[in-house]
């Protein structure tokens, strides 16, 4: 909801005109209502949100030419960096301020425009010469970071983009190593390969004896080695992926070997809210006396039960030496609170009875459906989709680690997850291998870059296939990944990915 309103303001769309701008749907109708109410509350409190700072300034300048002229007199020269990422509000704001003298210098690279999903329009930089016909265009085509091979690969990726500035990168750096294309069986083998290769390169350990299969691409990655370094030498190595859910298999490979890692621009997999919510349900199903899990699960999704009510239940639990679920059924609370507590207790008791007939992955499905968590996550936003993908990745872990049914399988799964969480917390204090999304890598550089998950449907993302503009953005994202590397690039794809 917040993202939808923010995107509208970035496009200079007011609450009154929102429905005319957005695609008609029940969700957009709801956004329009909330947008109206939200703006009324801001006006009541005499407040602006962040997006208003630009939108309102544009409105004021357009309505008051004399005020705009005063600012134009104050600022004679303008410099805008990362111009390929400006949205409509920023574009109009800049154009208004620069319109008097046209002393405007912008710096940008349309090939690195990767934020259309939050309103960036790289067309602004492509149209710059139309807006300012007398402008001088200076192309900075020499690359000082990467090898010739990496630059050639980057040019090749962008060659088929439909809409782009005409340029060709070049470098005086060494030719360098070929980009290595590696096919693996699945995401577990992918994580194993990456971690072993990082240790080989960073510590000079002997090459592993990979056995080619069929076309010679698929390596038998074998077992993971134990990491022996300090973590300091890993700062020049990065693994890039398309979605945050992909970090799970990579994190587990690092944890198994003791390889230090840092997760940039995201929360470690088992610390993500949606994962902790599902695990709280599973732990409470397994152990009805788990007060910590009860405290978390009973308020997710929101049921109208506040802290005072929950504390009253937990005090009743302690006083009567019974489980929180039993307390929720017994405690004498009048009205809606009592009914909601009994409903929650009945939900968990029903799920507890279902354990014997279902696998852990099936229990995750049941929890998501019956609790309302699924409906809360799948809200039509990119954020919700990413959170849902994380839950599906947790299901994959369950299918891999605990494929059986019943209480023993659930106990085994929760015990293993607890171990990962403890190790995760400890390793977070060290420097090490960098794990991040392609989007988070923009502006950074590394000696060696591993680009994982390079298969159709994941990268490029399935949502891009129907729209050439979105497919071009996937190309630009791949270009950003390639040009993060100074010396080596590995591109990995899996034959199977759950």
Instruction: Give tens-digit pLDDT for 46-75.
Output: 778 889 999 999 999 999 999 999 999 999
Helices (H), 99-181: 123-126, 128-131, 148-159
The full set of domains in the chain, from first to last, is 1-131 (3.40.50.300), 148-211+218-266+428-496 (3.40.50.300), 269-421 (1.10.486.10)
Asked if 348 and 354 touch (Cβ cutoff 8 Å), the reply is no
Local structure of residue 191 (DSSP, 8 states) = H
Residue 430: pLDDT band (50, 70, 90) is: very low
Measured CA distances, 48 to 13, 35, 58, 63 (Å): 15, 13, 14, 18
Instruction: Give tens-digit pLDDT for 385-416.
Output: 888 988 998 998 898 888 889 999 999 898 88
Residue 224: pLDDT band (50, 70, 90) is: low
Average pLDDT for 462-482: 93
How far apart are the C-alpha atoms of 128 and 451, rounded to whole Å? 33
Instruction: Give tens-digit pLDDT for 168-205.
Output: 999 999 999 999 999 999 999 999 999 999 998 987 65
Asked if 413 and 376 touch (Cβ cutoff 8 Å), the reply is no
| pLDDT score at 320 | 87
pLDDT above 70 covers a percentage of the chain that reads 92
Measured CA distances, 422 to 102, 248, 270, 429, 431 (Å): 58, 15, 10, 12, 17
How far apart are the C-alpha atoms of 104 and 122, rounded to whole Å? 17
- Tokens standing for 272? 């993500």
HSE of 388, CA atoms in CB hemisphere, 13 A: 17
Strands (E), 264-310: none
- Tokens standing for 422? 């403890």
Please state whether the predicted TM-score (pTM) of the whole model is above 0.85.
Answer: no
**CA angle in degrees (0–180, nearest 5) for 95-100-101:** 100
Nearest to 394 by CA among 277, 239, 286: 277
| pLDDT score at 423 | 52
């Amino acid at each position: 909801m917040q993202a939808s309103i923010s995107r509208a303001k970035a496009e200079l769309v007011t609450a009154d005109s929102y429905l005319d701008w957005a695609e008609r749907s029940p969700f957009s109708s709801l956004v329009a209502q909330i947008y109206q109410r939200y703006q009324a509350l801001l006006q009541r409190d005499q407040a602006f949100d962040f997006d208003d700072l630009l939108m309102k300034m544009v409105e004021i300048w357009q309505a008051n030419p004399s005020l705009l002229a005063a600012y134009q007199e104050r600022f004679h020269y303008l410099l805008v960096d990362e111009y390929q990422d400006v949205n409509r509000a920023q574009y109009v704001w800049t154009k208004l301020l620069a319109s008097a003298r046209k002393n405007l210098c912008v710096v940008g690279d349309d090939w690195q425009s990767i934020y259309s999903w939050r309103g960036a329009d790289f067309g602004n930089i492509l149209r710059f010469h139309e807006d300012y016909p007398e402008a001088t265009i200076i192309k900075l085509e020499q690359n000082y970071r990467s090898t010739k091979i990496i630059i050639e690969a980057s040019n090749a990726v962008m060659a088929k983009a439909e809409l782009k500035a005409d340029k060709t990168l070049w470098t005086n750096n060494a030719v360098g190593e070929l980009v290595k294309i590696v096919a693996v069986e699945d995401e577990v083998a992918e994580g194993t390969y990456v971690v072993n290769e990082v240790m080989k390169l960073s510590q000079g350990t002997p090459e592993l004896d990979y056995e080619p299969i069929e076309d010679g691409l698929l390596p038998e990655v074998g077992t993971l080695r134990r990491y022996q370094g300090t973590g300091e030498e890993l700062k020049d190595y990065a693994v890039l992926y398309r979605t945050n859910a992909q970090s799970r298999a990579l994190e587990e490979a690092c944890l198994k070997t003791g390889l230090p890692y840092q997760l940039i621009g995201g929360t470690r997999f088992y610390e993500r809210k949606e994962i902790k919510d599902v695990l709280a349900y599973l732990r409470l199903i397994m152990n009805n006396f788990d007060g910590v899990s009860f405290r978390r699960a009973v308020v997710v999704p929101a049921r109208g039960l506040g802290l005072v009510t929950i504390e009253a239940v937990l005090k009743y639990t302690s006083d009567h030496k019974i489980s929180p679920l039993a307390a929720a059924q017994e405690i004498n609370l009048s009205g809606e609170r009592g009914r909601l507590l009994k409903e929650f207790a009945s939900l968990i008791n029903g799920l507890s009875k279902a354990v014997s007939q279902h696998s852990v992955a099936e229990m995750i499905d049941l929890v998501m459906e019956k609790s309302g968590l699924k409906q809360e996550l799948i809200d039509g936003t990119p954020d919700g989709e990413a959170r849902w993908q994380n839950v599906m990745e947790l299901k994959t872990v369950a299918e891999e680690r605990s494929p059986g049914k019943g209480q023993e399988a659930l106990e085994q799964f929760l015990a293993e997850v607890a171990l990962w969480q403890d190790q995760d917390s400890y390793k977070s204090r060290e420097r090490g291998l960098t794990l991040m999304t392609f989007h988070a890598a923009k502006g950074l550089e590394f000696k060696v870059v591993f680009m994982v998950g390079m298969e159709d449907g994941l990268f490029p993302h399935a949502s891009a296939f129907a729209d050439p503009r979105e497919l071009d953005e996937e190309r630009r994202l791949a270009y950003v990944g390639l040009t993060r590397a100074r010396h080596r690039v590995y591109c990995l794809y899996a034959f199977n990915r759950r």
